[in-house]
Amino acid sequence: MGNMKKTGNFERNARILALCGAALFATAANAQNTVITADKMIDVLTGKVIEFPAIFVGEDGRIASIADARTVRWGSDVKHINLSGKTLLPGLIDMHVHLDGPADIGGYRGLEFTDSFWGMTAVGNAHAMLKAGFTTVRNVGSGNRNDIGLKQAIENGYAVGPRIVPAGYALGATGGHCDSTFLPPSLEKAEKEEGIADSPDELRYQVRRQRKYGAEVIKVCATGGVFSRNTEPGQQQLSESELRVIADEAHQWGLRVAAHAHGGDGIKAAIKAGIDTIEHASLVDDEGIKLAAARVRPVWFSMDIYNTEYTQSEGAKNGVLEDNLRKDREVAQIQRDNFRKAHKAGVKMVFGSDAGVMPHGEIGKQFRVMVEYGMTPLEAIQAATRNGAQALGREKDVGAIAVGRYADIIAVDGDPLTNVRELESVDAVVKSGKLID
């Protein structure tokens, strides 16, 4: 009798759950106001290709359900975005951009323009990135918190662009890559530039200050850089203990940290300190690769291995100084070779272009180089979708065409799994279920 009673309870509960599920499905169906159809869809979570998807989008801009377009029906009140003949992918994610940095203005040419000019250029650059298929970007440092202001403008309908994860001001040491090093002492401010700190307490304060005013990620410069003056890419500029203060403070507030790090020692210090993403990683050595691959808390490499093709051909005419071009030449091939080594060793990788060094609308060209240096087309696509979402901690929102995530979707004519260069020219972009003009 006891077993019979348990069986009856089980069957009754199953019926209740089924009824609840049907009610939830009906509610979701009623909320669906858009359906997107195409010939194929790439599921980046499994690597599988789905034929004839019908992606239903709710009023909140999120995917409510996915069905077979050959068998499902929808009412006349549902808007149909027909992308027949095309292949769908999730909206792409670029983890390293500078929206307020026009690529065609370099060196001292920046002094030709007023302070508010840079924020104005960010509007056009953001639109260019969205049209290129990048529906989410992480902006790793900007002047005047232009990235935060632009994020607010996009979210409130005053501008058109991708979802922005802003950093506000980048953090760094006095005289380091994130400091202003182009002006003589007579033109410098009496106080430190925003974001510049020279002790653990100052760095902790800067983390809190950037978060206070809207930063959703913390950017720090651990080493020298290519496009700064009086720094070399291999120079370590913050100690491991200083980087650990930044990481610990940011994590306490629920933020992640991106460390600009070209040099091997700076990369290893950042990995040991708990930094979440290593930007550039140009001169990483074998020990650094092993540390990254083995760390329990995931660390991601964001390696901008295309943009040197633009800077070396266009940099001089744009005003970039020869010393900066020299550093760019010296690290370019080493970085590409280390990209191959890191990927082969199992280091987690995301897509990062350093847009601003190169034009924002051309960043899709990096996929070709990622494949040339060891990735399969699917892995390169996953770096710019699934992996980016994981590194951001936003797997519930972006990075895949999946129920519950935003309907951020791009379409191409051909098959990017056989020719990744299809992503250099995206044919359609949908953000939150709305087709971008």
Structure confidence at residue 31 (pLDDT): 60
Q: What is the DSSP string of 15-68?
A: HHHHHHHHHHHHHHHHHEEEEEEEEEEEETTTTEEEESEEEEEETTSBEEEEEE
Structure confidence at residue 6 (pLDDT): 40
In order of start, what are the domains of the chain with their CATH numbers? 34-90+421-436 (2.30.40.10), 92-362 (3.20.20.140)
Cα distances from 94 to residues 83, 198, 233, in angstroms, run: 24, 30, 22
Give the chain's length.
Answer: 437
Q: How many other β-carbons are positioned within 10 Å of the β-carbon of residue 337?
A: 14
Structure confidence at residue 78 (pLDDT): 96
Q: How many helices and strands in the chain, by DSSP H and E?
A: 12, 16
pLDDT per residue, tens digit, the chain (437 aa), is 444 444 444 344 444 333 333 333 433 444 679 999 999 999 999 999 999 999 999 999 999 999 999 999 999 999 999 999 999 999 999 999 999 999 999 999 999 999 999 999 999 999 999 999 999 999 999 999 999 999 999 999 999 999 999 999 999 999 999 998 888 989 888 889 999 999 999 999 999 999 999 999 999 999 999 999 999 999 999 999 999 999 999 999 999 999 999 999 999 999 999 999 999 999 999 999 999 999 999 999 999 999 999 999 999 999 999 999 999 999 999 999 999 999 999 999 999 999 999 999 999 999 999 999 999 999 999 999 999 999 999 999 999 999 999 999 999 999 999 999 999 999 999 999 999 98
Structure confidence at residue 91 (pLDDT): 98
- Considering the entire predicted model, what is its pTM? 0.92
Find the helix or strand (DSSP H, E) in which 136 lies: strand 134-139
Q: Is 269 exposed, middle or buried (0-12, 13-18, 19+ CB in 10 A)?
A: buried
Structure confidence at residue 5 (pLDDT): 40
Structure confidence at residue 28 (pLDDT): 40
